[in-house]
Structure 1
């Protein structure tokens, strides 16, 4: 059974307000806001124990709804998770398993690879560099039910021809191919994002645009896909906030990057401004709000020689399939539908939002759009446990993040099993098993103690990869034992292969 704690924070929602039947009025459709942060780690909020970042508006939202302690992105990097939100599918189904959306589209490229670099034990397969237009997105689905749809902020799901307006969005402000903004300060150098006064901050600019959208569409049902550029690189923040966090010390001794402190506070302010606007327009009680991050906090870039953040006690960060790279903060709020101040330990994933939005709005899905996620609505409104055996992430790549290996992971109950391609005897797969209930740091591999669990989850992983048609690494015939990667470790990936993660 799922565990709930009162009082506490996280999932805010919206209530299906049944109008008075004068003659006969339909049930009012809830608005939906998908508030997505870029590269925000599970420990990057005071909700989960950070004593460095100040996030009062995240706490405010959590008090309105339900917070999730075990929420996962579909992938430990941004574009695949974003695609999973829009499609309700695992991104391995369409081969977009790294964030390559800034590169030229490759619809006709054969993704099969047979040779790798000498330091690679296995050959990682190619990836799609765009989110397929054939996917029937949640925006397209909601439009069939009378919703006005807007995307504001980062996109990074393909070059021109693969932008939000091609995927069901009536409004697109700022959504192009950029992995991160050319500048966080105006002028932003993003053609479809208006510049502000000199040195205006981009987080403020997209928030102003979002509030204008709310004002313009307050009398009709809307879906606002509000995807932050923060807290992705380039690492830039207003000087007054940098000074504020320079004067702070983390009592935990873990998070100490003043620029990141400023960036995180601006994202929190953005959330607060949006909540204030909903209250001003009397929309709060009819708006379902999801707060989520696309992957874990960045722990491979540096600012003045230090990582931008620290995900401890979770292991590693962005670009790594361990918990720090893929477990993320999550809140869903819907006043009148979700009990306020609750916390759930259920496993949820980014693929679940699509079916949740369909059910919450009574929107008919497209039978041709296969959904991998499950609706969270019974959990949110009736505390009913989710019915599935496991969740998965297929990430078969070497990337720049420390200690990452081509892997597929499964979470089931308290257990997490990772299948590492090429790391076993004779470069066969190796299996790691962690009991996250007892060991959230993933420091103790208990595979030898639970062989039956490993066998069961290993079968589930193989079945999952086969079912989604996921590309799988093969043994590299050009591997040279002991050879070093360009990053100085056999487990790193060349930085210039996919620039600007």
Structure 2
């Protein structure tokens, strides 16, 4: 009897000890900081100065500007000159020269086996044989979404994809568990307005969009709908952290806009005399509202303190489309409803103006590659600051992993580097130079080129140009508009930077344009 009482007493003590230990473990788990939620908000074709936070005195972007006051704003952030290459760089951490998507071809059928980047022939009116862009993100890439998913994140892609036309290359196959998208997708379905006309099955083609986008009420604006879908994902009950990849359709063509907003900008005058397109102002207002709704949803759920938010653009602002220099505009205007009233509202104005930067989208000058970039994580990222570190699209993957406390995957070779220490105020960026490669069109020779930036010196090498036009050297510290070419007066600097550029091209396996043996100049 005495033995039984003793055993019972020991059992009570043992159970109590286990319960106490469990309570301590649970308390330790709850005290341990969870991985941060991540929102990547990417605007399409938004130029470096297309919001108040970056100096616009015409566009009205109150939510973006308020966010900038709580964020770290980068002044020298870069992307590719076109969207598909940048998107591939973000998800892989690799330069476009390495992952192979070098032009905006993500809506075209993927190439088959044996695809040659450099075609064997070119038409006789083409001076150079230029490389072809890969039309899809290779499934063998271990994407940012896959890395976060495998680390326990819920993942969602909402909006434009432009990294593959057919199902094997859709976001669901690249690490996103939830996806709201359609194909082909250089621009939005329904010319921005519902009914969007997206089919849930079948093969996508030029006349048939296929994907997961569903119609909303008639006249619903797709940018507003993206906000609704993003909020639905944010508000999903789950113990897991989330990664939301919200890639806006705005402000890309065909420039569908809310006329009630556009009317409000029609009589507004830009004090700087730079930006004067009410359609673009209207579209940016809608993008700003979308961003604001997402921020509000995060706050409403009490997630602000543990959510990293990145605001970025995929390339520089468009300064050519729908202008007198755009030879296809009048033909497109007859078949694209939003363009019917372009001249009524915008006159001969381009979509935007990137001044003081030179040129814009599809250009290797600063106007085509320098983009807005802001980061926020309350208490972790130094807020209300401006940073001049040279960073870019390839760095988002390793930086987000570092901030989330995750190691870089050994299976994914990356060109990007983490600048988490810069964001958290703990140091400077360990980078010697930054590079860009765009071998398609533009510049002397019309075969694209590549550039290297080291410090404030930027060297552009044009492929296919005559020797005297091959290089352009700029000092961006005093010439952000790239108006004074220093190449002729600083040959040693040109040689030194070109050697670095050559090493980059070799390291990444960049395919360079080659002279076309069949070239026959057109008689003048």
TM-score when scaled to structure 1?
0.89
Partner of 1:285: 305
Aligned to 1:252: 272
8 A contact 1:300–1:402 mirrored in 2: no
Partner residue, 1:221: 241
Instruction: Map 1:96-495 to 2 at 5 A.
Output: 96-108=101-113, 109-160=115-166, 161-182=168-189, 183-191=191-199, 192-217=212-237, 219-302=239-322, 303-304=342-343, 305-398=348-441, 405-425=447-467, 430-481=470-521
CA 1:353 to 1:483, structure 2 compared with 1: closer, same or farther past 3 Å? farther
The Cα RMSD (Å) is 2.0
Runs ≥4 in structure 1, deviation > 6 angstroms? 401-404
CA distance, structure 1, for counterparts of residue 429 and residue 152 of structure 2: 29
Following superposition, the deviation at residue 217 of structure 1 comes to: 4.3
Q: CA offset at residue 152 of structure 1? A: 0.3
The residue aligned with 2:333 is: none
Q: Deviations over 1:86-144 (max 9, x none)?
A: 00101211321001111111042222224434443322012211110000001100112
Contact 1:218 1:283 in 2 (8 A): no
Shift of 1:457: 1.2
Summarize deviations over 1:197-224 as a string: whole Å, max 9, x none. Answer: 1111100001001001100046420000
Instruction: State which drifts further: 259-268 or 380-389.
Output: 380-389
State the alpha-carbon separation in 2 of the partners of residues 436 and 40 from structure 1. Answer: 21
SS of the aligned residue for 2:459 comes to: strand
In 2, Cα distance between equivalents of 1:148 and 1:364: 18
Larger relative contact order (CA 8 Å, sep ≥ 6): 1
Q: Hey, what's the Cα distance between the residues in 2 that align with 1:211 and 1:333? A: 18
Would you say the 8 A contact 2:88–2:99 is kept in 1? no
What SS does the aligned partner of 2:293 have? helix
Aligned-partner SS, 1:209:
helix
Deviations 1:460-479 (A, max 9, x none): 11111111111101112233
Shift of 1:286: 0.5
CA distance in 2, matches of 1:252, 1:341: 25
- For residue 432 of structure 1, report the CA deviation from its aligned partner: 0.7
Residues in 1 aligned to 2:306 and 2:513: alpha-carbon distance in whole angstroms: 47
Match of 2:50 in 1: 44
Secondary structure in 1 matching 2:169: coil
Q: Distance in 1 between matches of 2:354 and 2:294?
A: 27
Deviations 1:137-164 (A, max 9, x none): 0110011211000000000101122000
Unaligned runs of 5+ in 2: 1-23, 200-211, 323-341
Shift of the 294–286 alpha-carbon distance from structure 1 to 2, 3 Å rule, reads same
- CA deviations over 1:149-186 (Å, ceiling 9, x no partner): 00000001011220000001000012543110132111
How far apart, in 1, do the equivalents of 2:382 and 2:235 lie? Answer: 27
Where do 5+ consecutive residues of structure 1 fail to align? Answer: 1-18, 485-501
TM-score normalised by the chain length of structure 2? 0.85
CA shift, 1:404, in A, is 6.2
Q: Is the 8 A contact 1:319 1:404 kept in 2?
A: no
**2:100 aligned to which of 95, 101, 107:** 95
Cα distance in 2 for partners of 1:85, 1:113 equals 27
Helix, strand or coil at the partner of 2:197: coil
Q: How many residues align?
A: 462
Asked if the contact 1:71–1:347 (Cα under 8 Å) also holds between the matched residues in 2, the reply is: yes
For residues 370 and 107 of structure 1, do their structure 2 counterparts lie closer, same or farther at Cα, with a shift above 3 Å needed?
Answer: farther
Q: CA deviation at 1:480?
A: 3.7
Cα distance in 1 for partners of 2:116, 2:194 equals 40
Q: 1:217 to 1:329 in 2, by over 3 A?
A: farther
Structure 2: distance between partners of 1:277 and 1:457: 47
Given the superposition, is the C-alpha separation of residues 404 and 267 from structure 1 closer, same or farther in structure 2, using an over 3 Å criterion? Answer: farther
Q: Name the CA distance, whole Å, in 1 between partners of 2:523 and 2:192.
A: 39
Question: d(CA) in 2 for partners of 1:139 and 1:287?
Answer: 16
Paired with 2:271 and 2:441, the residues of 1 have a C-alpha distance of 34
Aligned match for 2:77, one of 67, 71, 74: 71
CA contact (8 A) 1:152 1:175 kept: no
2:90 aligned residue (85, 89, 92)? 85
Deviates more, 1:384-393 or 1:171-180: 171-180
